[in-house]
């Protein structure tokens, strides 16, 4: 059996989608698994051995429809038996129908999807995203993989360590989507954690460069270990996260890596909904501002950009440090 999964989104979305793939693979252990995704999220493949093949489509680029046509041609060539897609707009069911794959599973986007899909699943966004994705396959398997699972070398936990990954996304910033605190406040957090006796370790991707440089300017080097730029890929970052006693980050892909590893994690949330993005298992602690904004959480559900005031991210360094130390 050849099964195609389609999930277009960021790296975090792909990690949250992994449990759905894992459950289906357990149901059909001999199946060949192919994942269609965006090129920007290809790092997820390094975290798992469950994906046999990948197909890429840059649907956020200038040639969206050309990319989808190229993807469709590749799908025809592969002759899949089943397709499971996380897309929820009306176009998706029509696209899946044109694949001519016998069994097609997707979200219910109206009467047309009920006709074109083998199963049009009711979309329930008011739950942890892993469960939302898993709803797609409840008619296929009774196996329920509740959390992301990744295949990396687990390191020995280093006591009293706090690994910090600011989680800046320049693409999001350009689009007006701010999901983390300012660089100078990250510097204050680093300094205060160190003053409280914590061994602070810094990590980050290329987009975190400016924030890390600000920390370097404002915080004496002896107060932290700088691992920025020393993890070459997502798998190496995951291994570093596994060695930390505590992990502090923003709403970004490394959060979901830490969840998969079972590391105690503290996440700064502003415009996004923590209830949809973290499991309620006590191992992940949301850090939120005492904000009276009626729109919060606003990003995705109510608007596609964050506002200028960003009251939802006005969290003091003391609040963040106290939460990490005491919870």
pLDDT tens for each residue of 243-256: 999 999 999 999 99
* One domain for residues 200 and 308: yes
Residue 115 located in a structural domain: yes
Residue 12 located in a structural domain: yes
Number of neighbouring beta carbons within 10 Å of residue 75: 22
* One domain for residues 162 and 297: yes
Which residues form the domain of 223?
A: 158-326
pTM comes to 0.95
* One domain for residues 269 and 213: yes
Residue 151 located in a structural domain: no
> How many folded domains does the chain comprise?
2
Greatest distance between any 2 Cα atoms in the chain: 64
Q: How much is the CA Rg of the chain, to the nearest whole Å?
A: 21
User: Can you tell me whether residue 269 is helix, strand or coil?
Assistant: strand
Q: Among 104, 137, 170, where does a domain finish?
A: 137
Q: What is the CATH number of the domain that holds 253?
A: 3.40.50.2000
* One domain for residues 276 and 171: yes
Residue 191 located in a structural domain: yes
Burial class (CB in 10 A: 0-12, 13-18, 19+), 17: buried
Residue 149 located in a structural domain: no
Reported confidence tier of residue 309, pLDDT bands at 50, 70, 90? confident
* One domain for residues 300 and 171: yes
* One domain for residues 77 and 199: no
Per-residue pLDDT of 65-110, as tens digits, reads 999 999 999 999 999 999 999 999 989 999 999 999 999 999 999 9
> Can you tell me the mean pLDDT for 129-141?
98
């Amino acid at each position: 059996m050849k099964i195609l999964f389609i999930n277009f989104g960021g790296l975090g979305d792909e990690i949250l989608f992994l449990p759905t793939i894992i459950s289906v693979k357990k149901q059909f252990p001999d199946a060949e698994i192919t994942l269609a995704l965006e090129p920007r999220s290809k790092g997820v493949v390094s975290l798992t051995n469950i994906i046999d093949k990948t197909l890429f489509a840059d649907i956020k680029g200038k040639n969206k429809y050309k990319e989808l046509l190229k993807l469709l041609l590749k799908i025809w060539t592969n002759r899949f038996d089943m397709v499971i897609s996380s897309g929820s707009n009306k176009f998706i069911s029509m696209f899946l129908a044109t694949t001519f794959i016998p069994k097609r599973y997707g979200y219910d986007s109206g009467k047309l999807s009920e006709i074109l899909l083998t199963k049009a699943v009711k979309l329930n966004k008011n739950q942890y995203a892993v469960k939302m994705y898993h709803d797609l396959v409840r008619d296929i398997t009774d196996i329920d993989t509740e959390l992301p699972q990744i295949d990396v070398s687990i390191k020995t936990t280093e006591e009293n360590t706090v690994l910090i990954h600011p989680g800046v996304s320049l693409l999001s910033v350009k689009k007006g989507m701010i999901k983390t605190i300012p660089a100078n406040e990250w510097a204050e957090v680093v300094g205060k954690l160190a003053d409280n006796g914590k061994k602070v370790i810094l990590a980050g991707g290329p987009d975190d460069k400016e924030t890390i440089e600000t920390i370097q300017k404002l915080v004496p080097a002896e107060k932290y270990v700088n691992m920025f730029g020393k993890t070459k890929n997502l798998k190496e970052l995951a291994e570093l996260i596994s060695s930390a006693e505590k992990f502090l980050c923003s709403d970004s892909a490394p959060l979901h890596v830490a969840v998969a590893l079972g590391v105690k994690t503290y996440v700064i949330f502003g415009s996004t909904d923590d209830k949809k993005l973290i499991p309620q298992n006590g191992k992940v602690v949301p850090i939120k501002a005492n904000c009276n904004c009626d729109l919060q959480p606003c990003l995705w559900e109510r608007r596609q950009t964050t506002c200028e005031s960003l009251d939802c991210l006005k969290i003091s360094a003391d609040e963040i440090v106290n939460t990490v130390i005491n919870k």
